[in-house]
A and B are shown apart, each in its own frame.
Chain A
């Protein structure tokens, strides 16, 4: 039963990892951009949420109303202002520019909020739990997982059922022809980054309610999201959710064996899957 409990808790944790990964997966799908600053943007969203809750005195989940649009606008400006200039055949510029961005965000957060760990206060939500068939499940992890499923369903719907999604798929398939068909790819890329950072904002707030955070943890969040994307297979959003769940379960089981093994066992499962199935479990597009 204890082990079953660990598996269930890990699966729910996987929802958070899928949220870390969804934005990463989206922008890679649309413009083949890998954003090294993704983890730091998640942490930035958490700090924004913290500031909003403190200044307005509202519940962290209500802070989403402010943080999600703020991050989306920031994403659009970031893409149009800087990242669009780096896109091309050479993969070095986007990688190095987002790497520089990561260092800037990290140190700016350090300058403003200091290195002290912070946490958002969500009141009852943090401790509430429900009993289900002998298991005690936290309401927050359940909520996180449900949000992850909804976000991924929403992204999937956007991608395959809306005009915006059609534009995303068009520039993803062939930028030049999409441009000829009257799409402004710079605008489309801006919108995809805005959408990705809106998801990042949700991930950041849920992270900030769940655990304490400090400016240095961005790299770790990027890696978890990245592992979920690769385990699930590139370009497959439901696969990313599955990847997040596998990673979460690997971590909780590792922690059960030895607390020092939690993160390490997640990485090891990722490396094993990479060795056995280089394209992930459910690949749609090739890297």
Chain B
């Protein structure tokens, strides 16, 4: 059976094989380093996005706190729901199935 590589071609490339491997390795190192830098930029971009989302979350939490503050709830109860402050004697404290006390 004839060999895939003619004997002459193998002999031709043998000296250059190691050089070829070295060059490929060096290129690979450079490519990997560049990839690391590129991924670093991606991570930086994602971290900026994370920061924006965290800030947005904080703003929402702040808005929630402002909307549920007791003064505002009371204002809405009085102005929009026409509720009024209960006076003494209007509360009935249910203490038990059978017992309730007017307060």
Do A and B come from the same complex?
no
Instruction: List the interface of chain A (C-beta within 8 A of B).
Output: none
Chain B residues in contact with chain A, CB under 8 A? none
